[in-house]
Amino acid sequence: MDHDWVEVRTAHFTFFSDLEPRFATESARQLERLREVLSRTSPGMNPDPDRPFRVFLFRDSTGCSPYGHASDLGAAGYELPTRDAIYVVLRPDERGALRILFHEYLHAFLHASIGVPPPWLDEGLAEYSSTFRVSGTSAEVGHAVPENLLLLRGGDVLSLGHLLVSAGTRQISRSMRSGGRSSMPNRGRSFTTCSQHDCREQAVAP
């Protein structure tokens, strides 16, 4: 069955969805909140990606399957960057879709501000910030990601020294780009490393 598509534009992002408009509206509102918090707490950083940031919210996997790699299709979302725009594909019916949206925006935020950092830092900060939430007048990041914790309990946490070596970062980068579950252990290790060298931050919410 075909569904009508809606377009939701905010000051900085564009969302497309074949779901009820409220899903796109709420997701866009949350992403604007994250952008606002980052712009307030990261002076000198650029909160706007170097290309338009467009998000597609699909009703189910059938709709998004023609647009992703095979390894992406079991995930709640993934990124499809092009020269003209950064596209993020999400399935809100899957748990963690909003966290993936924040994760992918953090990549765009970092790359627009400082270029592409080492993969362990790129993925670690993206995971660290993907747990963004607003509570009252405060915004929080750095909460534990349950999926990462489960995977880390089954293996050793990589040391900071191991993550910093060039061969290790190349290996992590290849695993991250493959998408799906294969990237989760390294994302978890990157998240843990960033968490060990930082603490939960709070900022005034917009």
Q: Which of 114, 130, 154 is the last residue of a domain?
A: 114
Q: Which of 54, 81, 114 is the last residue of a domain?
A: 114
Buried-exposed string 89-115: b where 16+ CB fall within 10 A, e elsewhere: bbbbeeebbbbbbbbbbbbbbbbbbee
Residues 184, 200: one domain?
yes
What's residue 91's pLDDT?
82
What's residue 48's pLDDT?
95
What is the tens place of the pLDDT at every residue in 151-163? 677 765 666 666 6
- Residue 102's domain is classified under what CATH number? 3.40.30.160
119-130 and 166-178 are packed helices; what angle lies between their axes, rounded to 10 degrees? Answer: 50
Residues 110, 121: one domain?
no
What's residue 9's pLDDT?
97
Mean pLDDT for the chain?
Answer: 76
State pTM to two decimals: 0.76
Residues 38, 88: one domain?
yes
Residues 38, 70: one domain?
yes
Q: Which of 90, 114, 138 is the last residue of a domain?
A: 114
Phi then psi for residue 134, to 5 deg, are -110, 130
List per-residue pLDDT tens for the chain, 206 residues long: 467 899 999 999 999 999 889 999 999 999 999 999 999 999 999 999 999 999 999 887 777 666 665 445 556 788 888 999 999 998 876 668 889 999 999 999 999 999 988 888 888 889 889 999 988 888 898 888 877 777 677 765 666 666 666 434 444 433 333 344 444 445 555 555 555 445 344 444 44
What's residue 107's pLDDT?
94
Full 3-state SS string of 7-30: EEECCCCEEEECCCHHHHHHHHHH
Phi then psi for residue 151, to 5 deg, are -70, -40
Q: 172, exposed or middle or buried, with CB in 10 Å at 0-12, 13-18, 19+? A: buried
Task: Give me the number of domains the chain comprises.
Answer: 2
Residues 46, 12: one domain?
yes
What's residue 204's pLDDT?
42
How many angstroms separate the Cα of 157 from the Cα of each of 88, 154, 196? 29, 10, 11
Phi then psi for residue 153, to 5 deg, are -65, -25
CA pair distance 156, 16, nearest whole angstrom: 40
Q: Which domain holds residue 170?
A: 117-206
Residues 95, 154: one domain?
no
User: Amino acid identity, residue 148?
Assistant: N
Residues 25, 108: one domain?
yes
What's residue 34's pLDDT?
96
